[in-house]
Amino acid sequence: MTVLPIEWYHAKGMRETSSQKNQRKKKEMATKTGSGTPEENEFGFEFIEESEMESVKRGRKAQVIPEMVAFFAKAKVGQIVKVNYFAIDTESVSAEDVKTAKAKNAATIRSHAKASGWSKVQISWSPKGVPQVKRIA
């Protein structure tokens, strides 16, 4: 049975039957909630079983420098480590690039600190762009 929009029935001066009304409401509900098969909603949403789920790994694998993890592991709470390896040339790079490089390097430093057993880290940058890492906890 074809379900026509309610406006069609009104335009023809007709009333839809209760079974037509139920089918129309069911179809509208499937479209609103994203349930049912792709043909039942405009976005193509559908429910699938967990065994049918497909996924891919996000991003790339983190590059861990074992020497850095080992050095960080030696630090005690309150000690500060100057990490010259991640120094940024702040004078020859634009301010936006410096900001991006600091964020990237800080994330790398934090992941190394976490890998070495630190639970809390504070990173401050010298005027020359050298990160100084303090073990808080």
And the tokens for 16?
């839809």
Give the model's confidence band at 38: pLDDT under 50 very low, under 70 low, under 90 confident, else very high.
very low
Distance (Å, rounded) from C-alpha 34 to C-alpha 43?
A: 8
Parse the chain into domains and list their residue ranges.
6-52, 66-135
Q: Are 86 and 108 in contact (CB under 8 A)?
A: yes
And the tokens for 124?
């401050």
Q: Is the pTM of this model over 0.75?
A: no
pLDDT tens per residue across span 71-123:
999 999 999 999 999 999 999 889 999 999 999 999 999 999 999 999 999 99
pLDDT tens per residue across span 52-75:
888 877 777 778 899 999 999 999
CA 88, 89, 93 angle in degrees (round to 5)?
A: 110
Provide the CA 58 distance to its chain's centre, in angstroms: 9
For the stretch 44-83, what's the b/e string if a residue is b when 16 or more beta carbons lie within 10 angstroms of its beta carbon?
eeeeeeeeeeeeeeeeeeeeeeeebbeebeebeeeeebeb
What pLDDT sits at residue 82? Answer: 96
pLDDT score of 9 more than 50: yes
3-state secondary structure at position 86: helix
Provide the CA 29 distance to its chain's centre, in angstroms: 30
